[in-house]
Amino acid sequence: MTNANPFEGLDKILNSEESEQDKQALEYLFGIYDHDNKKEPYKYFWAHNQDEEKEKFVELLEFIDKHLKKYTEAHIYHYNHYEKTALTKLMIKHDTHLEQVNDLLRYGKLVDLHAVVNQGIQVSEREYSLKNLEKFYGYKRKGEIKKANDSTDKYLDWIETGEERLLDEIKLYNREDCESTYFLREWLSEIKPKDSLYVVKKDPEIREKNWEKENEETTDRSVTATA
């Protein structure tokens, strides 16, 4: 434990949206938010089919990896387990970047603020959803979409109609989820009791064998030989 604030530094906020395509889950949008980047605080990755999903998943991980190598004390914040689960599922589904995703987990780089809220505070709400908490830190949404299910419905409507405004509405909803998670993080930092300590995970032990990297190299060799 420490008095140092792990919320400080050039951290990022991660949020994703899922639908279904050809009876397979499709992560059709990843959003990354950096409040300190005044020029371009919100970065997004659209994927409208399974091939694009893999491509954008890799782009997202490369973006995160570059940032964490530059700012070694930074973290990626999200609300509830979904983003962590999505990254894990995608690395298995596409059999790529296993080591990087597992390193995000090993080194505690993915921080679930829902767990912090559940364990650290009590509020006058029946559910601790992000939307239910926004009244306490004063975040006001401007977009038409208010729930994740509505976002999925809009995406399905876009598949049918191709109307660009539907993607704009979904993107705004994703951005507002990112922004709200950032302001939740700031609020939690502000209300933290002065003398309380942050729990910081220990660095994992050095591994003698890197099975993830070996697995990816073996897969790459197999694909090359087949080709």
Cα 189 to Cα 7, 38, 74, 209: the distances in Å are: 7, 21, 15, 38
Does residue 7 fall inside a structural domain? no
Span 36-58, average pLDDT: 95
Q: Tell me the per-residue pLDDT of 203-220, one tens digit each, with 9 for 90 and over.
A: 655 666 665 666 656 555
Does residue 226 fall inside a structural domain? no
Average pLDDT over the chain, rounded to an integer: 86
User: What is the structure's pLDDT at 199?
Assistant: 61
Confidence class for position 81, pLDDT limits 50, 70, 90: very high
Share of the chain above pLDDT 90, in %: 66
Span 164-181, average pLDDT: 97
- Better-predicted residue by pLDDT, 22 or 84: 84
Does residue 191 fall inside a structural domain? yes
Q: Is the pLDDT of residue 201 over 60?
A: no
Does residue 217 fall inside a structural domain? yes
Q: Give the CATH number, domain containing residue 102.
A: 3.30.420
Confidence class for position 3, pLDDT limits 50, 70, 90: very low
Does residue 62 fall inside a structural domain? yes
- Which residues share a beta bridge with 36? none
Span 75-96, average pLDDT: 95
3-state SS string for the chain: CECCCCCCCCCEEEEEEEEEECCEEEEEEEEEECCCCCCCCEEEEECCCHHHHHHHHHHHHHHHHHHHHHCCCCCEEECCCHHHHHHHHHHHHCCCCHHHHHHHHHCCCEEEHHHHHHHHCCCCCCCCCHHHHHHHHCCCCCCCCCCHHHHHHHHHHHHHHCCHHHHHHHHHHHHHHHHHHHHHHHHHHHHCCCCCCECCCCCCCCCCCCHHHHHHHHHHHHHHHHC
Does residue 175 fall inside a structural domain? yes
Q: How far apart are CA 21 and CA 27, in angstroms?
A: 10
Find the domain containing 89 and state its range: 12-221
Does residue 150 fall inside a structural domain? yes
Does residue 144 fall inside a structural domain? yes
Q: Is the pLDDT of residue 183 over 60?
A: yes
Burial of 160 (0-12, 13-18, 19+ CB in 10 A): exposed
Residue 22, by phi and psi: left (phi above 0), alpha (psi -120 to 50) or beta?
A: left
- Lowest-confidence region among 7-16, 32-41, 179-188, 208-217: 208-217
This prediction has a pTM of 0.85
Q: What total of structural domains would you count in the chain? A: 1
